[in-house]
Amino acid sequence: MEDDKIIELIHHGNSDALDFLINKYRHFVRVKARSYFLIGADKEDIIQEGMIGLYKAIRDYKGEKLTSFKAFAELCITRQIITAIKTATRQKHIPLNSYVSLDKPIYDEESDRTLMDVISPAKPTDPEALVIHREEFSKIEGKVAELLSDLERKVLALYLDGQSYQEISEELDRHVKSIDNALQRVKRKLERYLEARELTF
């Protein structure tokens, strides 16, 4: 029986016809999958993506089209595998794409003030300014202690001491990505606090 006829049976709810066609093209999917590599996955995952493509081809194929089912299935299988690969690649780069620098302006792109300026500001020389500065710093320091978790406080202290992510990671026995995440959380918490504080003045 030709593929077109089998697909007609499938579209009319014949599950045996569906099993038959899937088994018929299983080897074809495996052959197509050999040409591709999926980050963080094994060959079976790629084959599974190909099988999803095959299922979509069976579901969407219309017999009156000029192309054969095999050509249509090949297109759907290839498209499904490539889409899976692109998605996996995008996810791999999420940490880089979503990275936020501590040197980014706090309020908007035109602002000259960064989080690092707030954390380690230049020391004033005027005695009155020095007293005010100490009071302000004590308030911020106290608020930081409330806002941050134990890990975040440790990571921030070591970072301000000039240690690299790798050194902090080794000292705290945490993964480098965990250190990066902690610093990003610190930045977001302090940004929110400073914005709220600015509004109260």
Half-sphere exposure of 123 (CA within 13 A, CB side): 2
Predicted structure pTM score: 0.45
Class of residue 163 by CB neighbours under 10 A (exposed 0-12, middle 13-18, buried 19+): middle
What type of residue is 5? K
| Interval 80-117: pLDDT, tens | 998 988 887 776 555 544 455 556 665 555 556 665 65
Q: Give the pLDDT score at 199.
A: 53
Helical packing angle, 165-172 and 176-200, nearest 10°: 110
| Interval 54-77: pLDDT, tens | 999 999 998 766 688 999 999 999
CB atoms within 10 A of CB 162: 7
What type of residue is 68? S
DSSP assigned state of 114? B
Helix (H, G, I), strand (E, B) or coil at 175: coil
Helix (H, G, I), strand (E, B) or coil at 66: coil
Q: Give the pLDDT score at 43.
A: 79
Half-sphere exposure of 192 (CA within 13 A, CB side): 9
Q: Which residues contact 139 (CB under 8 A, 6 or more apart)?
A: none
Contact 29, 47 (CB under 8 A): yes
CB atoms within 10 A of CB 92: 12
Torsion, Cα of 27, 29, 34, 40 (10° steps): -130
Average pLDDT rounded to a whole number, residues 154-170: 86
Placement of tokens 């300026």 in the chain: 117
Six-digit token string for 26? 């299983």
| Interval 6-51: pLDDT, tens | 998 999 999 999 999 999 999 999 998 888 876 666 778 889 999 9
Domain boundaries, the chain: 3-92, 100-200
**Fold of domain 100-200:** Arc Repressor Mutant, subunit A (1.10.10)
Q: Taking 80 as the threshold, does the pLDDT of residue 174 lie above it? A: yes
Q: Taking 50 as the threshold, does the pLDDT of residue 191 lie above it? A: yes
Q: Give the pLDDT score at 101.
A: 57
Q: Which residues contact 6 (CB under 8 A, 6 or more apart)?
A: 17, 20, 21
Instruction: Specify the CATH architecture of the domain 3-92.
Output: Orthogonal Bundle (1.10)
As a whole number, the mean pLDDT across the chain is: 78
